[in-house]
Structure 1
Amino acid sequence: MNDEARVVLKPVEDGEENPYLLGVYAPVVDEISANDLEVIGSIPADLSGVYVRNGPNRRFPATGRHHWFDGDGMVHAVHFENGRARYANRWVRTEAFEAESRAGRGLWTGVMEDPKGNPFGNGHGLGLKDSANTDVTFFAGRLLASWYLCGTPRALDPLSLATLGPETFLNTLTGDFMAHPKVDEATGELFWFDYGPEPPYLRYGVVGADGRVAHTTHVDLPGPRLPHDMAISENHAILMDLPLIQDQEARRQGRYKLHFERSLPSRFAVLPRYGDGSRVRWFEAAPGYIYHVVNSWEEDGEIVLDVCRVKDPQHQPRISHPLARMLAYLRLDAQLWRYRFDLTTGRTVEGPRDEDNTEFPSIDARVVGRRNRFAYNVHIAREDTLLFDGIVRYDLHTGERQDHRFGAGRWGSEAPFAPRDGGIGEDDGYLVSFVTDERENRSEVVVLDAADLAAGPVCRILLPVRVPVGFHATWVRADQLGGRG
C-alpha cells in the first residue's frame, strides 16, 4: 500500500492546513531497503561510506497542534561501495516510540500544547516526547541519534540502522545529552553538554577514547537558557549563554514559550577541555542566537569561532494563522559570522563573513577543533516554511564562495563532506544530499564534487520512495566502519 495513504494525520488544524504535514514534509511510515538504484551519471568508485540523515516523521496523530519538531525520529541512509549504492530507512526506537507502538496511538502532545498529561519526558522533567529526531553523530563504531531539548542518545548500527538501545557510554552517563556533541577524531574523545529549566542549568562533559565518561562539571548560568550547539578547539571547550530564554511564567502554565531578551549580551564560556566550571572565562558579544557552529580553533593567543548567527530568533508572524508563531519561528535568517576571543585581554571581536542566509554547516570531520579552510552550508530558500534550495561552499581563507542550486521545486538536506578514498584535503571529495522534488513527489541523492560545486552533480541516484525534508546528517567513512561494508 502506498505509504502516503497509510499516514492518518491531521493536515488541517482549526480550519487551516499545517504545511509541516503536507507535501515534502508529509511523514512516511514504511521501513524499506532498496538495492540496484537507478543512477543518472556514474557513482564515483572512490566514494565509500554511509550518508545518514535524521529528521522528524510523525507516526501517530496526537491531540492539539502539530509542530514540525514533534515528529518521531527516522533515519534515512545511503551506503556507497564499489560504485554502487543502496538505500534504507528506519525508525529511531526511543522509549516513547515503543510506548506508542504498544498503545497503537499517539500518547504525547507536542511542543505547542500543555505537556502535563504526557506519560513522561526527559531527565529534567520537561514533559515533552524525547524523539531523538534531531542529529546523528558517529562515535566509537555507533551512530548516536539525539534530541534538541536534551534527552537520551539512542545508539544505532551504522549499516543496518537498527536501534541498539540507549547509549550509556558503558553505564557512565548520568542525566541528559544535547543534540550536537562534538567528536575530536585526533583524540577519540566526544564532548557534550546537558541543560535544563532548574539549577544547575548547564552541565558539560567529556567521553574519553575508551568510551566512558571521563569528566563532568557544572557551568554557572544566571537562569535557564536554551543553548543548542557548542564548539571545541585543541585545548578548550566553548559553551554559550545566549539571550533566548524559556518563558518561566508560560512554563508554570504548562506552555513552552521562548523569549529573546534583547537587553542581554551573548556570552561565551571558554574552559579547558577537562577544566572545572570554576575555571570558565566569559566573553561577551552582541545579542543574537546561534543554532549551529561551523568550527573553532586556537590562533595566536585567541579562540576563533565560526558560526551561523541568527540576528532575530523571535520573528513576528507575518500572517494570521493558527500556526503563525511556529511558521515565524522556523523562518531562519542566519549569516556566517566569526568571533575572536583574546585569551590575554578578554576582548571579543566579531563580524560577518557573508551576508547571505545560510545554515546547517558541514566541514571535514577530521579537522573539527583545528583550523579549517572550507565550510559547506545549505542555502535557505525564501519560502514560508524552512527549505534548503542549494549548497554554498565557503573558502574561509580567501573569502570566495561557490554555489549550487538544486532547481525549482527541489529541496535538499544538510550535505556533509565525504572524503574520497585516500583523500586528505578538505575539498578532496564529495558532498552528498537528499533532494526531494515536490512536483514529482519523489527523492534522489545528489553527489557533488566538493572542489567544484558549480559543475553540478557528479551523479544523481533515484530513490523508490520520498524522503521527507528533515534535519541533520553525517558521513561515515568506510575506514571508520572497520571492514563491515
Structure 2
Amino acid sequence: MTTNQSSIDAPVAIARPLNAEGENPYLLGVFAPVRDELTLDDLPVIGEIPKDLNGVYLRNGPNRQFEAPGRYHMFDGDGMIHAAHFENGKVRYRNRYVRTRAFEQESEAGRALWTGLMENPKDNPFGNGHGLGIKDAANTDVIFHRGQVLATWYLCGTPYSVDPLSLETLGAQDFLGTFAGDMMAHPKVDEKTGELIWFDYGPDQNYLRYGIIGADGTQTHLTKIDLPAPRLPHDIAITENYSILMDLPLVQDQEARKAGKYRIFYDRELVSRFAVVPRYGTGAQVRWFEAKPCYIYHVVNSWEQGDEIIMDVCRVKNPQHQTTFEHPLANMLAYMRLDAQLYRYKFNLRTGTTTETPLDDANIEFPSVDSRIMGQSHRYSYNMSLGNEPTLLFDGLVRFDSQTGTKEEHKFGKGRWGAEAPFAARDGSTGETDGYLVCFVNDEAEDRGEINIFDAEDVAAGPIARVLLPQRVPSGFHATWIRSDQLAQGSPS
C-alpha cells in the first residue's frame, strides 16, 4: 500500500496530555460551544473558489445551549448545523441550532432540564420513543431527502426536517403521517429511486424495525427482524436490491438498564452477524452471515457482484479498549478514541459463506463515497485520518483507491483539525473524482475556523482555496454535500 501525502504546515502534534484539573476536554478548545448564530458573506479567501462548485456543504455536531448537571459526554450537546453555501465562486457561511422539542423546552426554561448520557435519566422530562430517557439532540448526521435535510440522533430519535439553505428547523418529520417509530443516525438515500432506507432499535426490544420511505415521502415498507437480545447497531448498507443490517457484539448492560441507566459493553463471546434482506423483504426472508467479532460505526458502501454482496466498512476490532490515562472521564475518553481500519466483507448468496479481508491498516473513519453511486460499485472513498490524541480529532483527509489499495493523503497541519469531507461533484461531473472535497478546519493557534476546498483529483496537493471564518466551527460529527441541481428541485408539498 502506498501513500501520496501533503501537509499545509508542520506534522500534526501527537497525544497531548489531558487537563490536570480534570476538566472535560470535550468542552475545551476546538470542542467548546459557540453561542452566536451567524450569517456571513464576503469572507476572506486564500486562493480562488471554483465557479463550478455549486451547492451547499452541511455539517452537524453537538453544541450545548446550557450547562447541564453532571458529567458531559460529547453526544449530549444540542445539534447545531454549520453550512457553507457555494454559488458562482462565492460562499456564504451560516450556523443554526436544530430546534428540537427538547431544545425548545430548555430555551423556554432558560436552563438545562436534561442530564447527560453518563447520568441517571430518571428526572429527565422525556427521552426517545423507545423509552430511553436521554435527550434526543438531533446532533449526529444530516441527510438530504426530497428537498429537505434530516437531522438525526445517534441512539435513534425523531428525524427533524431542516431547510438546507436557511437552516430553519421545519419540525419533526413524520413523513406525511405514515412514520412508525424513531430513526437511527445513518439512513441511506438511493438517488436512483428516491427511497430512504432506515431502521431503529431500542434498549428493550429483541428486534430491529426496518423500513423504507418512498419517493413520494410516505412510508412504503416496514418489517421486524428478530434479534437474540437488544443490540446497538449504528449504520446500514444498501445495494440495488438488498439491505444489510447488523447484529454486533457491542451490547447493552441489562443490569444497568434495570437500574435505569445506559451502559454498554463489548461481549467477546459473540460473533458479528449480518442480515441480508431484499429491499422490500420481510424478517422471514433474512439470510444471516457470520464473521469475526467487531464493531462497525460506519459503512463505506455496498454493492452486488455476481452471487456476492460486497460491503466495505470501517471496522473497529476493540470498541471498548482500556484507558491508558487517569482522568475523571477516563472511560468516556477511551470509548471515544476510535481505532478503525478499512475492511471488506463478501457475503455469498449461493453458498452462505462470508469472506472478510482488511483493505488498509491506517486508522481512518467517517467515510463517504460519491452519493450518486451509493449502493453501486465504487473505486474511491474519502475518509478522515484520526489523530493520535486523547480526544476524537481528525488530522487529515485520505482518498482511498479500492482498486489499487493505494491512498492519497493531506494532513491539515500542527494544531489544525478537520471535519468529515464528502465528495462535492462539480457542475457536469462525470465521475467519482470529478469534483471537490469541502470541509471545515479549526486552527487552534488562531482560534478560528476555515472552509477548505480540495480538488478530489489531487487531495495531496492541499486546499485550492481557504475561506477564513471569524469564529470556530466546533469539532463535531457528520456532513453532507447537496448539489445545486438537487437544491433546484425544491421541497415537494
TM range (shorter): over 0.9
1:363 counterpart residue number = 369
Q: Deviations over 1:55-113 (max 9, x none)?
A: 00011011110111100000000000010000000000000000101110000011100
Given the alignment of the two structures, is residue 331 of structure 1 paired with residue 337 of structure 2, yes or no?
Answer: yes
TM-score by length of 2: 0.95
Query: What is the 5 A alignment of 1:291-310?
Result: 291-310=297-316
After superposition, give the CA deviation of every residue in 1:408-441 in whole Å (9 maximum; x if it has no partner).
1000000010000001200000000100011110
- Contiguous gaps of at least 5 residues in structure 2: 1-17
TM-score relative to the length of structure 1: 0.96
Aligned: 1:80 with 2:81: no
- Equivalent residues, number: 474
Structure of higher RCO (CA pairs closer than 8 Å, 6+ residues apart) = 2
Alignment equivalent of 1:119, drawn from 125, 130, 138: 125
Q: From 457, 476, 493, give the equivalent of 1:470.
A: 476
CA drift of 1:199 comes to 2.6
Q: CA deviation at 1:200?
A: 4.4
Query: CA shift at 1:327, angstroms?
Result: 0.4
Cα drift, residue 300 of structure 1: 1.4
The equivalences for 1:47-126 within 5 A come to 47-126=53-132
* 1-structure distance, mates of 2:44, 2:368: 27
Asked if the contact 2:147/2:489 (under 8 Å) is kept, the reply is no
1:203 corresponds, among 202, 206, 209, to 209
Please say if residues 223 and 282 of structure 2, whose CA atoms lie closer than 8 Å, have aligned partners that are also in contact: yes
**Secondary structure in 1 aligned to 2:230?**
coil
Q: Distance in 2 between matches of 1:169 and 1:176?
A: 12
Moved runs in structure 1, 4+ residues, more than 6 A? none
Aligned to 1:5: none
- Segment drifting more, 254-263 vs 146-155: 254-263
Query: Is 1:221 paired with 2:227?
Result: yes
1:201: Cα distance to partner?
Answer: 2.8
2:297 is the counterpart of 1:288: no
Q: Which amino acid aligns with 1:444?
A: E
**How big is each residue's C-alpha offset from its partner over 1:182-231, in whole Å with a ceiling of 9 and x where there is no partner?**
00001110100010012343100001111100000000000011000000
Contact 1:374 1:395 (C-alpha < 8 Å) held by counterparts: yes
Match for residue 374 of structure 1 among 380, 386, 397: 380
Percent of aligned positions that are identical: 66
Cα distance in 2 for partners of 1:363, 1:255 equals: 37
**Aligned residue identity for 2:303:** W
Q: Which residue does 2:135 correspond to in 1?
A: 129
Equivalent position SS for 1:16: coil
User: Could you list the per-position Cα deviations for residues 290-329 of structure 1 after superposition, in whole angstroms to 9, with x for gaps in the alignment?
Assistant: 0000000000110000000000000111112110000000
Verify the 8 A CA contact 2:162 2:171 in the aligned structure 1. yes
Cα distance in 1, alignment partners of residues 197 and 204 from structure 2: 22
Letter in 1 for 2:465: C
Give the Cα–Cα distance (whole angstroms) in 2 for the partners of residues 334 and 241 of structure 1.
18
Instruction: Indicate the residue corresponding to 1:436 in structure 2.
Output: 442
- 8 Å contact kept, 1:218–1:277: yes
Q: Quote how far apart the aligned CAs of 1:482 are.
A: 1.2
Whichever residue aligns with residue 336 of structure 1, its letter is: L
Structure 1 unaligned segments of length 5 or more: list them.
1-11
Aligned with residue 147 of structure 2, among 137, 141, 147: 141
Counting only pairs closer than 5 Å after superposition, residues 215-294 of structure 1 correspond to structure 2 as 215-294=221-300
Name the CA distance, whole Å, in 1 between partners of 2:204 and 2:396: 40
Q: CA deviation at 1:399?
A: 1.3
After superposition, residues 120-199 of structure 1 pair within 5 angstroms as 120-199=126-205
